[in-house]
Amino acid sequence: MMWIMALRLALRSLLRNRMRSMLTALGVIIGVAALIVTVVTGEGARKMIAQQIASMGSSIIMIIPGASVQGGFSGGAGTGRPLLREDVEALLAARAVRYAVPVDRTSTQIISANLNWSTQVIGTTPEYVLIRDWPIARGRFYTATDNDTAAKVCVIGQTVAQNLFGDSDPVGQQIRVKQMPCDVIGVLAAKGQSAMGTDQDDVLLIPSLTLRTRVLNQSRQYVGSIMISATSEQDLAQAEQEVTQILRQRHKLTDDQENDFTIRNLAELVQTQQKIVETQTGMLRNVAAVSLLVGGIGIMNIMLVSVTERTREIGVRLAIGARERDILLQFLVEAVVLSVLGGLLGVGLGMLGAILLSRVMGGMPADFSLFWVATGFLVSVAIGVLFGYYPARKAARLDPIDALRYE
């Protein structure tokens, strides 16, 4: 009964000063909304990065020529000894390596009838789609025989298919890659954006030897880079160690010589991206915490003003028999109601803001967690109690006689 009475008095007081109450709650609204948006978008960003990395293929290792040290100077990628096709075959002997494929890349114009499109052309072998976990949507992928004979066949991504063929079926159609006619034998399933923001579907895959001998007019014994799939994510470190050992032996490097190749894996990329997201999320959480602190101070300030304005009312209540705890409860409930109102509006505004932000950021998932929504609400309650207690205690300890004399 006492709580109900206190709640009624609190609501009556807040409704008497609607504008002041709303402006006071604004700090809590902004703080809780910022907290919800920060946490939801942070979790969504982490999930999106994980999904994008997974779409690129897990447990992948890339080997590129370069990073050699010559004459005291460290060269970049491509400055060291070139990788050989025999290196690819040798790496398959490693226990922790499941697949190893050559990868050559170039960008060029593709022509279909009177349409053209500039895209990335990748020359590789059939195991490439197994490493990337990339299914075929239509048609088929080229075979090892197609690669060995440098067949004029290709498989295109969804973006290329849409821009060159629209709604018609590309399979069986012929396109030109530079001056080489090429039969489209398959269309890759959609992959979406990579973790670096590039369109993975804007690609054309052709046999490795076809790209090197017919398009680039380069020697068939060399490869631009090597892509490897470890037997599992847990075996990535072992695979890197075995790959390094095999290539150093093949390249006849002594113990005092640096590697003339560079090894990169996607696990490192994931960790780097996650650290960046965590840092940004942490900074935004600090901003939200400051907003909540400002909101709490605002509530304390307004409650102190309210106590001053209602000193005679408090004196009357004390004179007719109200206890100190009744006055304490009245003003404490008033502060809590104010902060809870701000918390509820903040949660709603934060969820709406997170949804809008996820759409603006290219479909990033809005990962709503009941834990953080509840946390945002409970924080607002705690603010009401913590910052409302001092003004409520001050009101409860007023001397009735002094309060009645207050002008």
Question: Do residues 203 and 280 both lie within one domain?
Answer: no
Question: Do residues 129 and 217 both lie within one domain?
Answer: yes
- Per-position DSSP letters for 221-267, written without gaps between them: TEESEEEEEESSGGGHHHHHHHHHHHHHHHTT--TTSPPSEEEEEHH
* Contact status, residue 155 vs residue 201, Cβ threshold 8 Å: no
Residue 336 lies in a domain: yes
- What pTM does this model have? 0.62
β-partners of residue 176 are 111, 181
Question: Do residues 401 and 276 both lie within one domain?
Answer: yes
Q: What is the dihedral of CA 45, 50, 52, 53, to 10 degrees?
A: 140
Question: Do residues 285 and 359 both lie within one domain?
Answer: yes
* Contact status, residue 222 vs residue 213, Cβ threshold 8 Å: no
Res 251 pLDDT > 60: yes
Phi, psi of 330 (to 5 degrees): -60, -50
Residue type, 98: R
Tell me the pLDDT tens digit for each residue of 70-80.
444 444 444 56
Residue 265 lies in a domain: no
SS3 132: coil
Rounded CA-CA distance 334/14 in Å is: 8
Rounded CA-CA distance 130/92 in Å is: 15
Phi, psi of 311 (to 5 degrees): -60, -45
Residues 6+ apart with CB under 8 A from 2: 326, 329
Measure Cα distances from 214 to 84, 156, 256, 401 in Å.
18, 18, 40, 102
Res 200 pLDDT > 50: yes
Residue 329 lies in a domain: yes
Residue reference for tokens 């009556």:
12
* Contact status, residue 371 vs residue 43, Cβ threshold 8 Å: no
Residue 205 or 235, more confident: 205
* Contact status, residue 263 vs residue 353, Cβ threshold 8 Å: no
Residue 250 or 286, more confident: 250
Q: Which of 193, 223, 253 is the last residue of a domain?
A: 223
Rounded CA-CA distance 215/153 in Å is: 12
Residue type, 361: M
Rounded CA-CA distance 271/278 in Å is: 10
Confidence (pLDDT) at 180: 92
User: What is the H or E stretch that residue 401 is in?
Assistant: helix 400-405
Q: Which of 162, 188, 223 is the last residue of a domain?
A: 223
Residue type, 285: R
* Contact status, residue 143 vs residue 67, Cβ threshold 8 Å: no
Share of the chain above pLDDT 70, in %: 83
Share of the chain above pLDDT 90, in %: 32
Cβ neighbour number for residue 58 with a 10 Å cutoff:
19
Tell me the pLDDT tens digit for each residue of 33-55.
888 888 887 777 777 766 666 65
- pLDDT category of residue 163 using cuts at 50, 70 and 90: very high
Confidence (pLDDT) at 41: 78
Question: Do residues 172 and 280 both lie within one domain?
Answer: no
Question: Do residues 111 and 197 both lie within one domain?
Answer: yes
Q: Number of structural domains, the chain?
A: 2
Residue reference for tokens 């396109």:
175
Res 340 pLDDT > 90: no
* Contact status, residue 195 vs residue 52, Cβ threshold 8 Å: yes
Question: Do residues 282 and 195 both lie within one domain?
Answer: no
Residue 189 lies in a domain: yes
Q: Which of 207, 223, 239 is the last residue of a domain?
A: 223
Tell me the pLDDT tens digit for each residue of 273-323.
667 777 777 777 777 778 778 888 888 887 787 777 777 777 777 777 777
Cβ neighbour number for residue 238 with a 10 Å cutoff:
16
Question: Do residues 216 and 277 both lie within one domain?
Answer: no
Confidence (pLDDT) at 100: 93
Rounded CA-CA distance 84/106 in Å is: 18
Residue 127 lies in a domain: yes
- The single-letter DSSP state of residue 107 is E
Res 124 pLDDT > 60: yes
Confidence (pLDDT) at 71: 45
- pLDDT category of residue 174 using cuts at 50, 70 and 90: very high
Confidence (pLDDT) at 370: 76
Rounded CA-CA distance 74/331 in Å is: 70
Q: Which of 230, 387, 402 is nearest to 302 (CA)?
A: 387
β-partners of residue 68 are none
Confidence (pLDDT) at 384: 81
Residue 262 lies in a domain: no
- Per-position DSSP letters for 318-332, written without gaps between them: HHTT--HHHHHHHHH
- The single-letter DSSP state of residue 214 is I
Question: Do residues 380 and 279 both lie within one domain?
Answer: yes
Tokens of 258: 């640096």
Determine which of 25-29, 61-65, 237-241, 359-363 has the lowest per-residue pLDDT on average: 359-363
Confidence (pLDDT) at 73: 42
Q: Please state whether beta strands 180-188 and 153-156 pair in parallel, antiparallel, or not at all (unpaired).
A: parallel
Confidence (pLDDT) at 70: 45
Residue 92 lies in a domain: no
Confidence (pLDDT) at 320: 77
Q: Which domain, by its residues, includes 202?
A: 100-223
- The single-letter DSSP state of residue 190 is P
User: What is the H or E stretch that residue 175 is in?
Assistant: strand 174-177
Confidence (pLDDT) at 42: 75
Question: Do residues 17 and 139 both lie within one domain?
Answer: no
Tell me the pLDDT tens digit for each residue of 352-403.
888 887 777 665 666 667 777 787 778 888 888 888 888 878 877 777 666 6
Residue 70 lies in a domain: no
